[in-house]
A = this chain, B = another copy of it.
Amino acid sequence: MEPAYRRIAAAYRDKISSGELAPGERLPTEHEIGEQFGVVRQTVRTGLGVLVTEGLIVARRPHGYFVREWERLIYRPQEKSRPMPARATMDRFSQQISDEGRVPSMSIDIALVQATPDLAERLRVEPGATVVIRRRVRFINGEPVNINDSHFPLDLVKDSEIVSPSYIPRGTDQVLADLGHKQERAVDEIFVRMPTPDEIRRLGLGPGTPVAVHYDTGYTADDRPVACTVNVLPGDRHRIVFERRWRENEPLS
């Protein structure tokens, strides 16, 4: 026989997936569920805890448990490799959001840090070498939606406006291009994992919310990596989209 806590989890998972419990709707209290299934409160908690870590429900003390709602922003990595409009006053993300009638905002801070192994490999610097990190958190209507940490080798950007913690309307790619490091090619890598406590704090994530981590490494024409941006996208707030066309004539690698 299946353990009681799993029967409870399965029962409410079904109610949610069948639509009997709609997003935003409230579940019975732990006490009530306990009576119904004939178990003590702790067992109910274990069962509902499963659904919390699955991201299906959230607990709001002292109101109860509620079915979670997911609203996703479209995220297009390919947009990054289009030229910016000449007279842009904000970046693509902010433009899109304000076109939708919502209020974009951003926090920026700059630091010099030692490259972690994953960054050192992508930027082709020594592990522990100093890199400039430009940390941004994007908000919509005051709610954090994603993290964008751009990393640059220190010697490339040390005298440019990239190291000043202010907004750069034309974008850091353009600044790099003006410095003679025009990007021609980029490699995108996407990892899926659970967030770190730091990411949970910065993004205000609830339990059961995985993240996609998008590494965007930009290369110049002579194949030198000049920037690596780490985007942390909460799973409940994003949908990553890109397009492909068939390439008939290309040789197989």
Given known pairs A53-B53, A53-B207, A210-B210, the reply for A81 and B194 (CB within 8 Å) is: no
Q: Which chain A residues numbered 172 to 201 have a C-beta less than 8 Å away from chain B?
A: 183-194, 197
A interface residue count range (under 10 / 10 to 19 / 20 to 34 / 35 or more)? 35 or more
The 7 closest A-B pairs by CB, nearest first: A210-B210, A192-B235, A190-B240, A186-B244, A53-B53, A192-B212, A81-B244
Q: Which residues of B contact A212 (CB under 8 A)?
A: 190, 192, 212
User: Given A192-B212, A210-B192, A80 and B197 touching (CB < 8 A)?
Assistant: no
**Chain B residues with CB below 8 A from A136, complex form:** none
Instruction: Report the minimal beta-carbon distance from A12 to chain B, rounded to whole angstroms.
Output: 12
Q: Judge whether A186 and B235 touch: CB under 8 Å.
A: no
Tell me whether A120 is interfacial, beta carbon within 8 Å. no
User: Inside 8 A of A243's CB, which chain B residues have their CB?
Assistant: 185-188
List, sorted by A's number, 16 A–B pairs whose CB atoms are closer than 8 Å.
A13-B197, A72-B191, A77-B244, A80-B244, A81-B246, A81-B247, A83-B247, A183-B246, A184-B246, A185-B246, A186-B245, A187-B244, A189-B239, A190-B241, A191-B235, A194-B208
Closest to A248 in B: B83
- Also in contact, A189 and B245, with CB within 8 A (given A55-B194, A82-B252, A210-B194): no
